[in-house]
């Protein structure tokens, strides 16, 4: 490596996140100036980082060239973000009629769209069938019948995939695990064969095109993917031998993790299981390599290598596309010292209304003082949001050390400083609420050359009243 004059902090990312004139810079744009120009809270999206993340995910194609990436739009479904994703050349996964509407509005072709959903309405299914999307992932035998009824009514054939539950655990949060028999998702293996036979019995109504398992979000290890893929492969092979029907795809779901602990200065303050999960580094390419190597061995043994080669493998990355492409800028609005505990508090204008995972899953977002990014972060501050709720804090209120008790920031951090919450692209904007009458913030998109575009304007007070009758 070329000689570096000063070591850059762990959170920095070359040509994207760094320090200029002692302040945080995003693609060379001064974060504090952005905060002044657009107001805070403010979500700042890096279009180049989204493209970088997609390119990294596409490296999985080295191990299986027929790869279809469907961005899990529930992670962040702003039109401006969907547009960048679409222009990067990948497809999209939707979880409701509303997300289907957004995907179509963002310009995705119907065959680029696949739909999941645990509790789809007849209307949503009709919208998907009418549009002629790539596939509807069926969550139960009941839903197969419902799709057949809707397809018959519309006089259109639906492409369907059976979503399996595989009894596969991961080292992530209980609520982020979706392939356990105790989870609410998917069709049990004991029911899957009968369900596939039933789907094949009505070829004029449904075309059975694939199998799907989503093991869960922020999955740190490849093993659950290997297990899930093997389970689907065995079903596929059995179906082929029994009926001659060739499934077109296997969908391995999302869950490729993001390293939220690039900066490890406070990692040791986080409980160890959580630390492993938040600091995961599994790549899509590594996951695919291990999965394909294992399954290829079985396929060759079974004389079915061509079946595997002909298969389209679908992945549904959400977090891995968008999480580290977004920075939430928030201003310190109040400060206090508590003589009884000796603690210093900083109160920001962004709470769990914008970072719901912070309280729901104790999710760690690294904090940087954007106004003093060049100063050493050596002082401890209790950080909290603006909401009228004692739970709106940036630490683990229950003392379980899922989050650090205090954040390390520069000594003289104070009112007026702009704090940057890093890696806040996934499950933030798409989960935000207007609790406490707080209008939704603006979101801006920054390009490589530092040009800036507002992709969602800040809500006004009038917007808070939308659809209300007096």
- Of residues 77 and 443, the one with the C-beta less far from ligand PLP: 77
* Residue positions annotated with a catalytic role: 388
CB-count burial class (<10 Å; 0-12, 13-18, 19+) for 466: exposed
As a whole number of Å, the end-to-end CA separation of the chain is 65
Quick one: three-class SS letters along 192-229? HHHHHHHHHCCCCCEEEEEEECCCECCCCCCHHHHHHH
Residue recorded with tokens 């595997």? 308
Q: Is 254 in the site for ligand PLP (CB under 6 A)?
A: yes
- Of residues 116 and 266, the one with the C-beta less far from ligand PLP: 116
Region of 192-200, 241-249, 314-322, 349-357 interacting with ligand PLP (CB under 6 A): 314-322
Among residues 221, 263, 316, 349, the one that binds ligand PLP under rule CB under 6 A: 316
Radius of gyration, alpha carbons of the chain: 23
Give the C-alpha separation, 321 to 252, whole Å. 16
Q: Is 224 in the site for ligand PLP (CB under 6 A)?
A: no
Q: E strand or H helix at 358, and its extent?
A: helix 356-360
Helical pair 97-105 and 79-87, crossing angle rounded to 10 deg: 60
Smallest gap, in angstroms, from Cβ of residue 172 to ligand PLP? 9
Give the C-alpha separation, 43 to 329, whole Å. 6
Region of 69-77, 78-86, 142-150, 220-228 interacting with ligand PLP (CB under 6 A): 69-77
Among residues 51, 63, 74, 262, the one that binds ligand PLP under rule CB under 6 A: 74
Q: Is 214 in the site for ligand PLP (CB under 6 A)?
A: yes
- Of residues 38 and 71, the one with the C-beta less far from ligand PLP: 71
- Of residues 226 and 393, the one with the C-beta less far from ligand PLP: 226
Q: Is 407 in the site for ligand PLP (CB under 6 A)?
A: no
Among residues 53, 76, 217, 371, the one that binds ligand PLP under rule CB under 6 A: 217
Q: Is 317 in the site for ligand PLP (CB under 6 A)?
A: yes
Contacts with ligand PLP, 91-120, as mask; x by CB under 6 A: --x----------------------x----
Give the C-alpha separation, 425 to 447, whole Å. 16
The 8 Å CB, 24+ separation contacts for 242-246 are 243/197, 243/200, 245/200, 245/208, 246/307, 246/310
Among residues 186, 220, 224, 318, the one that binds ligand PLP under rule CB under 6 A: 318
The residues in 409-468 that bind ligand PLP, with binding defined as CB under 6 A, are 426
Instruction: Report the residue count for the chain.
Output: 470
């Amino acid at each position: 490596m070329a000689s570096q004059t000063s070591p850059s902090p762990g959170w920095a990312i070359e040509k994207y996140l760094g320090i200029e004139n002692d302040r945080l810079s995003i693609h060379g744009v001064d974060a504090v100036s952005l905060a002044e120009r657009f107001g805070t809270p403010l979500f700042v999206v890096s279009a180049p980082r989204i493209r970088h993340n997609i390119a990294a995910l596409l490296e999985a194609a080295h191990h299986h060239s027929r790869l279809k990436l469907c961005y899990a739009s529930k992670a962040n479904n702003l039109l401006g973000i969907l547009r960048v994703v679409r222009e990067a050349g990948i497809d999209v996964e939707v979880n409701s009629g509303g997300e289907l509407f957004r995907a179509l509005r963002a310009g995705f072709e119907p065959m680029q769209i696949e739909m999941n959903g645990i509790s789809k309405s007849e209307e949503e299914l009709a919208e998907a069938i009418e549009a002629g999307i790539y596939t509807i992932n069926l969550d139960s035998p009941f839903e197969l019948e419902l799709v057949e009824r809707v397809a018959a009514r519309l006089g259109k054939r639906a492409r369907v995939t059976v979503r399996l539950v595989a009894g596969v655990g991961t080292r992530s949060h209980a609520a982020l695990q979706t392939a356990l028999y105790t989870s609410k998702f998917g069709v049990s293996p004991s029911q899957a064969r009968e369900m596939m036979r039933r789907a094949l019995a009505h070829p004029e109504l449904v075309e059975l095109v694939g199998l799907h398992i989503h093991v869960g979000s922020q999955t740190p290890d490849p093993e659950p993917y290997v297990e899930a893929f093997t389970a689907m492969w065995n079903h596929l092979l059995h179906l082929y031998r029994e009926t001659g029907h060739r499934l077109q795809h296997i969908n391995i779901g999302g869950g490729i993790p993001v390293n939220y602990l690039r900066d490890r200065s406070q990692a040791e303050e986080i409980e160890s299981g959580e630390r492993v999960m938040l600091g995961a580094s599994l790549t899509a390419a590594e996951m695919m390599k291990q999965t394909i190597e294992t399954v290829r061995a079985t396929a060759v043994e079974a004389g079915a290598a061509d079946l595997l080669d002909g298969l389209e493998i679908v992945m549904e990355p959400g977090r891995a596309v968008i999480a580290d492409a977004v920075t939430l800028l928030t201003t310190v609005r109040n400060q206090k010292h508590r003589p009884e505990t000796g603690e210093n508090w900083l109160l920001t204008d962004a709470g769990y209304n914008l970072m719901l995972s912070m309280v729901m899953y104790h999710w760690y977002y690294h904090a940087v003082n954007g106004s003093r990014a060049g100063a050493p972060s050596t002082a401890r501050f209790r950080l909290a949001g603006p909401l009228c709720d004692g739970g709106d804090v940036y630490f683990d209120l229950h003392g379980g050390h899922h989050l650090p008790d205090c954040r390390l920031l520069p000594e003289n951090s104070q009112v007026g400083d702009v704090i940057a919450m890093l890696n806040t692209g996934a499950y933030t904007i798409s989960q935000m609420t207007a609790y406490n009458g707080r209008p939704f913030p603006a979101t801006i998109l920054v390009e490589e050359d530092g040009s800036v575009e507002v992709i969602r304007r800040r809500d006004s007070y009038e917007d808070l009243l939308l659809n209300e009758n007096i």
